[in-house]
Structure 1
Amino acid sequence: MARLSRGVLRLVVSLLLAAAALFPILFGLSSSFKTPREIIRFPPSLLPAEPTIENYHAIWQAGIGGFLGNSLLVSAGTVILCVLLGAPAAYALARYRFAGRTAAIIVIVAVMSIPVASLLIPTYTLIADIGLMNTHLGLVLVYTAYQLPIAVWILATYFQSLPEELEWSAMMDGYSRFQTLWRVVLPLSRPGLVAAVLFVVVFAWNDFVVAVTLLSSEEKRTLPIAIYNFLGFYGREWGPLLASAMVATVPILVLFILLQRYFVAGMTGGGVKG
C-alpha cells in the first residue's frame, strides 16, 4: 500500500510539473490563433472563440520564411560539423591512453563553463579578420567552436559505455579504426549521438546574441533576430509576435518529443557507465 501511494504521488507530481511546463507553450499556441481584441481581453480565454490564421499570414508576408530557412541552414551546418569533428575526437578520448589526455579533458570541461557573451569581442575580431562577417559560414564555424566541447564530452562518455570487444571483432574482419568508428561505434551510439545533436541544435536554433553580432544584412539573419525585429515592427500587436514565437518553438519541441527516449538514454547511459 505504501509503495502504491508513493507511485501515485510521483505520478501526480509528474503530471503537475508537465502541466506547468506545457501550459505557457499551449496558451501561446492558442493565443496565436486569436484576434487582436481577443488576445488582450481580460480574463483571457484558453481557446480562441474565433480562430484565425491572420497572425501567421502577417509574419509570412513579413518574410518569416526566409529567416526560418536561414536558421535551418545554420543549425544543420553546425550539427554536421560538430559530428564530423566531434566523433573522432571523442573516440580518441574514450579509447586511447596518451600523454596529455587528462589535460585535454580538463580543457574541454573548462571551455564548456565559459559564458558565450565573454567571447563575443574576440570572436567578432577573428571573424572580421578572416573575412567571414555577415556570412552563414562564419556563424556556423563560431557555433561549432562553441558547441564542439559539449558534443565531444557527451560522445566520449557514451563511447566508454560500449564493449571494446565489438570493435576488436570489427578490426579482425579488416576494418580500420576509422571504419570501426563510423560503421560500428556510431550506429551503436545512437542515443549519445542524439543527445549531442539536440544540445547543438538548441543552441544554434535559439542563439540571438552571437547571430545579431555577426550578421548585419536582413536577408542573412536567423529566426531569433526576426522575432526581435517583429517586436519593434509590430509594437503592441501581440498576435504576430506570438505566431513568430510559435514558429521558433514548435519545431524544437516536436524534435524533443520524437527523440526524447534516445536523449534520456544518451544522457544516462554514458553518464552511468562512462
Structure 2
Amino acid sequence: MMRKVLLTACAWLVALVVLAPYVQMLLTALKPHEELFASPPGYLPESWQFGNFLEVWRVAPIWEYLRNTVLIAGLSTVLAVAVALPAAYYTARRRFRGRRMFLLLVLVTQMFAPTALVIGIHREMLALGLIDTYAALILVNAAFNLAFSTWILHAYFSSIPVELEEAAWLDGCGTLQALLRVTLPLAVPGVVTAVIFTFITAWNEFVVALTLTSTPETQPLTVGITAFIGQYEVQWQYLFAASLIAIVPVVALFAYIERFLVSGLTAGSVK
C-alpha cells in the first residue's frame, strides 16, 4: 500500500514539473501588456485578458501559419512513412548481402542534425529552385525522419512471424495482399509510433524552416510566432498565446490516435 502511495505521489510530482512551464505560459498569455513589465511582477494576472487569444489572430496571420504547418507536417509524415514501409518490410523479410551495413547507414543518418547541414540544404534547395516553397520543407522533414521510421517499422516487421504470411500465401494471397491484410495490421503500433514521431518533429521544426522560407505564405507557425519578438520589446502575451494554440493540434492528434495505438498492441492476439 505504501509503495503504491509513493509511486502515485512521484507520478503527480513529475506531472506538475512537466506541466509547470505550460501553466506559466497560460498565465502570461492572460496578462495585459502593462502587467508584463510591472515591478515586482505578479504570478497571477490582476486583470485577466482572455481576449489575448482572440487578439493574436488579428495582429498576426496565425491561421495562415497554422494551415502551412498542418500541410507541411502532414505531407512530410505521409511521405516518410510511405517510403519507410517498403524499406522496413524488405529489410525485415530478406537476408541480402550488406543488409547490416545498410541498416547501420540508415541509423548513422540520425546523427546529422538539420542545424549542422542547413547551409548545404539551403544551397541544394536554391539550385533546385525550391526556396520559399512547401516542397522544400516537406522533402527535408521527410528525409530527416525517414531513418527513425524505417528502424521502428523494421523492428515491428521482424517481430511478426513470417509463418503468418506463408499461411496467407497458401490461401491465395500475393506478397502485397499478405502485407496489407496480415502483416500491416499487426504492425499498427509501429506505424502509429512512426506517424506520431514524424508529425511532431515536423510540426516543431524551426531552423530549416527559418532558413528556407521568408514569406507568411509558406512559413510554419514555429517561424511565424517569432514576429512577436521585436528588437526592443517582446510581446509575451501574444507569443505565449500563439505557442499554446500551436500545441492544441498535436495534443488532439495524440488523443485521437491513442486508441489505435492501444488496439494495435492487441491486434492478432485473439482469433
TM-score range, shorter chain: 0.7 to 0.9
Residues 1:65 and 2:63 aligned together: yes
Pair 1:198–1:31, CA change in 2 (3 A): same
* 1:260 shift after superposition: 5.0
CA–CA separation in structure 2 for the residues paired with 1:209 and 1:111: 18
Identify the residue that residue 243 of structure 2 maps to in structure 1.
Answer: 245
Matched with 2:205 is 207
Q: Residues 177-232 of structure 1, C-alpha deviation per residue, up to 9 Å, x if partnerless? A: 22322332222222111111111111111111101111122311111111112222
More helix by share: 1
Q: Deviations over 1:218-268 (max 9, x none)?
A: 3111111111122228933221111111111222233334445766999x9
Answer yes or no: is the 8 Å Cα contact 1:78–1:204 preserved in 2: yes
Q: Equivalents in 2 of 1:223, 1:157: separation in Å? A: 33
Question: Is the CA contact (8 Å cut-off) linking 1:70 and 1:220 kept in structure 2?
Answer: yes
Give the root-mean-square deviation of aligned CA atoms.
Answer: 2.5
Distance 1:230 1:112 in 2: 32
Matched residues, number: 264
Code of the residue aligned with 2:140 in structure 1: it is V
Does structure 2 conserve the Cα–Cα contact (< 8 Å) formed by 1:31 and 1:242? yes
Residue 21 of structure 1 aligns with which residue?
A: 18
Tell me whether 130-139 or 255-264 shows the greater mean CA deviation.
255-264
Contact 2:228 2:234 in 1 (8 A): no
* Alignment of structure 1 residues 85-164 onto 2, 5 Å: 85-164=83-162
Distance change (3 Å), C-alpha of 1:257 and 1:49: farther
Kindly provide the amino acid, as one letter, of the partner of residue 22 in structure 1. L
Give the share of equivalent positions with the same residue, in percent.
Answer: 34
Structure 1 residue 181 corresponds to structure 2 residue 179: yes
Task: Tell me the residue number matched to 1:272.
Answer: none
Deviations 1:97-142 (A, max 9, x none): 1111101111011111122212112212222222222110121111
Q: Which residue of 1 aligns with 2:80?
A: 82
State the SS of the aligned residue for 2:116: helix
The one-letter code of the counterpart of 2:160 is: L
1:227 aligns with 2:240: no
More divergent stretch after superposition (216-225 vs 252-261): 252-261
* 2:154 aligned counterpart, secondary structure: helix
Q: What displacement does 1:73 show? A: 0.4
CA–CA distance in structure 2, aligned partners of residues 51 and 194 of structure 1 = 38
Aligned-partner residue type, residue 9 of structure 2: V
Which has the larger displacement, 237-246 or 20-29?
A: 20-29
Verify the 8 A CA contact 1:56 1:243 in the aligned structure 2: no
In structure 2, the residue matched to 1:217 is 215
> CA–CA distance in 2 between the matches of 1:181 and 1:132?
35
